Structure 1
């Protein structure tokens, strides 16, 4: 059996591989395709995932793998690695440095390890349930903010929330002390490190949120779906992250009013 700290070391190694691979393409000449949902995919997405899968096949051949670009390999049914090679492809292809690499390890369907790598920033956030979280090897924790009206609130995918949940969008525009619009994984990583207090996000895929949830939990925060349920491969992709249980409860009340 592979122990948790060994998995963490392997995850950090894969983040290094993914970062080197992505940065070979960043702000260069990219071949871009569009999926059926019109989201872009670049040569870089495919290259990063291929290199990480190769590492996993070498070191964990019995484990399952689920990646954004190359689908799912079942493995032993207990262990699953979930990969988003470039979270924020639109950022990546436009030269914006806030794209990430996401990696989760699930045991019996439950996320136990989560990693957020930020290749252009040289930052690697990693958390293991029961062991805490770190940024580039230094321990991190969420803030102790309990009050929504005093919080730093990020609204991810605000255009989609505005389109599909206008009343909620209007409520969010009145919430928090400081509000920012954003996309992708970085606001959640900043929450794990104590800089952001809450993030409301929407229309995500499992490879978008399964790495972030254990990172935030290991750092002392809470991340669930909009109904307060734990995140799994089957979640609907509407999520909320908060630094404390009290703040999380207030956000759930706002979302479900």
Structure 2
């Protein structure tokens, strides 16, 4: 199994800091379009600029590595490592003027995620982790996630716009989570994942993620003792990532103390 490159963490932090400056600097400028394939997906000039920046930096530093970037797609490599890049997570928030958006990147090897990072540009905050080496927030070590139970924990639930039947089903799940925990919060972005890493939230649940939405989060939260599964409680499989660009992941990223209650609530609310 390929292990983390000794320079992965420093490289990721440097890239995310640079990307954050671009995202902040381009706020309120450029064009925004809707992807023809999905009305929930916006693309801004910032998405394209940050994507080009990060893929360029990866090619410069690791020319043999493959890259899967949300907007430009897949670039094969001749090494075991694939970089997964989400240039702007929460694009709708960003385009609307909300600060609740971010940038994510991760390196995935044959055995899973090797390293990853999450950036919240509006808050000048970067989270970085390497498998087996812990996680940091702005260079300071992140401790284990709190052991707080669900009754004292906020849970984030992400949902996208859809037909009435889907919206009703999502509403039932949100209501079930709200009954099982302290309350439900929604930014539908990486901000919620970062709140789990900080211990402010006990879990993040979403039924429509792509691989670039979760790869970096798995590493950061995993290094904090988090439990990262699908909604049936199975570990998330991100191996061979170039084949998973179109796969939809249903995820629960949670502390060990909250994960079982979230699973129970979701199963109880699911249609028979």
Tell me by how many angstroms 1:253 deviates: 2.2
- Does the CA contact (< 8 Å) of 1:115 and 1:126 recur in 2? yes
Find the counterpart in structure 1 of residue 24 from structure 2: 23
Per-residue Cα deviation, 1:144-178 (whole angstroms, up to 9, x for no partner): 33522222212222766744445433312312123
Find the counterpart in structure 1 of residue 225 from structure 2: 220
Structure 2 residue 144 is matched with structure 1 residue 145: no
Q: How do residues 16-165 of structure 1 correspond to structure 2 at under 5 angstroms?
A: 16-26=17-27, 28-36=28-36, 37-38=38-39, 39-108=41-110, 110-157=112-159, 162-165=167-170
Per-residue Cα deviation, 1:15-42 (whole angstroms, up to 9, x for no partner): 022112212211x222111112122101
- Does the CA contact (< 8 Å) of 2:4 and 2:115 recur in 1? no
Q: Which deviates more, 123-132 or 1-10?
A: 1-10
Structure 1 unmatched ranges of 5 or more? none
- Does the CA contact (< 8 Å) of 1:141 and 1:192 recur in 2? no
- SS of 2:147's partner is coil
C-alpha distance 157-165 of structure 1, shift in aligned 2 (>3 A): closer
Structure 2 residue 199 is matched with structure 1 residue 187: no
- Does the CA contact (< 8 Å) of 1:62 and 1:75 recur in 2? yes
C-alpha distance 181-142 of structure 1, shift in aligned 2 (>3 A): farther
C-alpha distance 196-169 of structure 1, shift in aligned 2 (>3 A): closer
C-alpha distance 159-43 of structure 1, shift in aligned 2 (>3 A): closer
Find the counterpart in structure 2 of residue 243 from structure 1: 255
- SS of 1:182's partner is coil
Per-residue Cα deviation, 1:79-101 (whole angstroms, up to 9, x for no partner): 00000001011111111111100
Tell me by how many angstroms 1:213 deviates: 1.0
- SS of 2:17's partner is helix
- Does the CA contact (< 8 Å) of 2:4 and 2:130 recur in 1? no
Distance in 2 between residues matched to 1:213 and 1:196, nearest whole Å: 16
- Does the CA contact (< 8 Å) of 1:129 and 1:214 recur in 2? yes
C-alpha distance 256-2 of structure 1, shift in aligned 2 (>3 A): closer
Cα RMSD of the aligned pairs, angstroms, is: 2.0
Structure 2 unmatched ranges of 5 or more? none
Per-residue Cα deviation, 1:44-78 (whole angstroms, up to 9, x for no partner): 10010101111111110000000011000111251
Q: TM-score, normalised by structure 2?
A: 0.87
Q: TM-score, normalised by structure 1?
A: 0.91
Q: Which deviates more, 201-210 or 226-235?
A: 226-235
Distance in 1 between residues matched to 2:31 and 2:264, nearest whole Å: 44
Find the counterpart in structure 1 of residue 15 from structure 2: 14
